[in-house]
Copies of this chain bind each other. A is one copy, B any other.
Amino acid sequence: MKLISCIIRPYKLDEVREALTQVGVSGLTVSEVRGFGRQKGHTELYRGAEYTVDFLPKIKIEAVVPAELLDGALDAILQSARTGSVGDGKIFVSAVEQVIRIRTGDLDADAL
C-alpha cells in the first residue's frame, strides 16, 4: 500500500476529494498546514511593525491506497488540483507497511 501525501490550495479541497472518490479512494485525512516554496508570500503591517509572511495556508491530504489505485489517484489529483500558477503544490508518495482498521482489526487492503 502507498501513502499519497499532497499539498494543495485550500479552495481546491472539495474538487480533489470528489476526484479521488471517483477513482475509488475510500478514505482520506486532511490537515491545515502552511507552506513555503516558490510562491511568494505577502507583507502585513501592524502599526509600526511589518511582518513578511512567507508561509501560506495550504491543505495537506493524506490517503493510503492499494498499489493498484495509485496511478489513478495521482492522475485524479493532478487534474483537480491544478490551476497552472505557482503554488499549486506537490504530491509525495511513500510506502506503507501495514494498515489496520481500529473498529474491526481488519488488516491491510481490507482495512482501507
Query: Which positions in A face B, CB cutoff 8 Å?
Result: 2-3, 6-8, 17, 26-38, 54-55, 58, 60, 64, 74, 77-78, 81-103, 105, 111-112
Closest to A99 in B: B92
A94 B93 Cβ-Cβ under 8 A: no
CA distance A66 to B92 in the complex (A): 13
Oligomer: number of copies: 3
| B-chain residues with CB within 8 Å of residue A81 when the two chains form the complex | 102
B97 A91 Cβ-Cβ under 8 A: no
Contact pick for A29, options B60, B74, B99, CB 8 Å? B60
A93 to chain B, nearest CB (A): 4
A37 B26 Cβ-Cβ under 8 A: yes
